């Protein structure tokens, strides 16, 4: 299956809306903000940047702060906690679901605060934060550099799940998967999970990698989500 370039460009535009929004948001976050304030601000920024209706049950930004970052929730069940506020040293996980011309973006990041300020990924010093970030980066590196589009969704899931365990983490996702295909109908998504024996090349569509992980006995959940597509024999980040 060849995925149309026009659709891919719309996915790319939607993804850019989310990434630029979180870049801008990082300069606006401060201790004392609650989940509802951050979610509302994130959605407003995405709409200003051109997002259409949010595709994930109408929820544009699923925001979890601090120890609530270990929760894995469907947007159907998500209610931002107005009593859960950013601390001086804390994390924010934000999962964005914009659209552009009806096509999806799907982009998540964990943002880190240390001593009251957002720090860039290169400047994270908290040991637990650093381990979470480095684990996420390694999982995405393995997908891009070591795995093949001729592998099945199940094979990729198994390899990355083993790596999660070797790094000392557990998968927090309530369905147990590590990502899903990019569609225009949410009900048609297929997932990176056991039992899915379609190869990426056979299915042909872009997909997300979005490990939601926590150190064994850790306090925080980490998430990093990108969309990938097939280019020749590699997975390439959109």
pLDDT digits (tens, 9 = 90+) for 9-28: 999 999 999 999 999 999 99
- Find out whether 226 and 238 touch, Cβ atoms under 8 Å: yes
Instruction: Give the alpha-carbon dihedral of 48, 227, 59, 85, to 10 degrees.
Output: -90
The tokens describing 125, both together, are 């010093």
Unique residue bearing structure tokens 């959940």: 221
Residue 11 backbone phi and psi in degrees, to 5? -60, -45
**E strand intervals along the chain:** 61-65, 90-96, 99-100, 103-104, 107-114, 117-119, 169-171, 207-209, 212-215, 222-223, 226-231, 234-237
Does residue 2 carry a pLDDT above 90?
A: no
- Indicate the CATH number for domain 5-237: 3.90.230.10
pLDDT digits (tens, 9 = 90+) for 98-125: 999 999 999 999 999 999 999 999 999 9
Residue 152 backbone phi and psi in degrees, to 5? -85, 165
Q: What is the pTM of this model?
A: 0.96
Annotated domain spans of the chain: 5-237
Q: Is the dihedral of CA 88, 46, 23, 18 positive or negative?
A: positive
């Amino acid at each position: 299956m060849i995925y149309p370039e026009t659709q891919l460009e719309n996915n790319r535009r939607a993804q850019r809306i989310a990434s630029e929004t979180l870049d801008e948001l990082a300069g606006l976050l401060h201790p004392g903000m609650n989940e509802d304030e951050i979610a509302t601000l994130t959605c407003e920024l995405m709409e200003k940047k051109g997002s259409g209706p949010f595709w994930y049950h109408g929820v544009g930004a699923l925001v979890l702060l601090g120890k609530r970052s270990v929760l894995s929730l469907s947007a159907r069940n998500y209610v931002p906690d107005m009593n859960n506020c950013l601390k001086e040293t804390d994390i924010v996980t934000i999962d964005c679901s914009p659209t552009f011309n009806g096509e999806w973006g799907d982009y998540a990041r964990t943002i880190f605060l240390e001593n009251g300020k957002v720090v860039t990924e290169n400047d994270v010093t908290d040991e637990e934060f650093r381990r979470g970030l480095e684990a996420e980066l390694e999982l995405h590196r393995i997908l891009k550099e070591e795995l093949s589009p001729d592998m099945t969704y199940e094979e990729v899931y198994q390899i990355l799940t083993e790596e999660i365990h070797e790094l000392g983490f557990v998968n927090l996702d309530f369905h147990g998967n590590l990502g899903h295909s990019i569609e225009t109908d949410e009900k048609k998504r297929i997932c990176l999970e056991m039992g899915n024996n379609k190869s990426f090349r056979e299915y042909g569509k872009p997909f997300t990698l979005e490990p939601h992980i926590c150190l064994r006995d850790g306090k925080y959940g980490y998430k990093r989500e990108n969309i990938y597509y097939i280019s020749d024999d590699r997975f390439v980040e959109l």
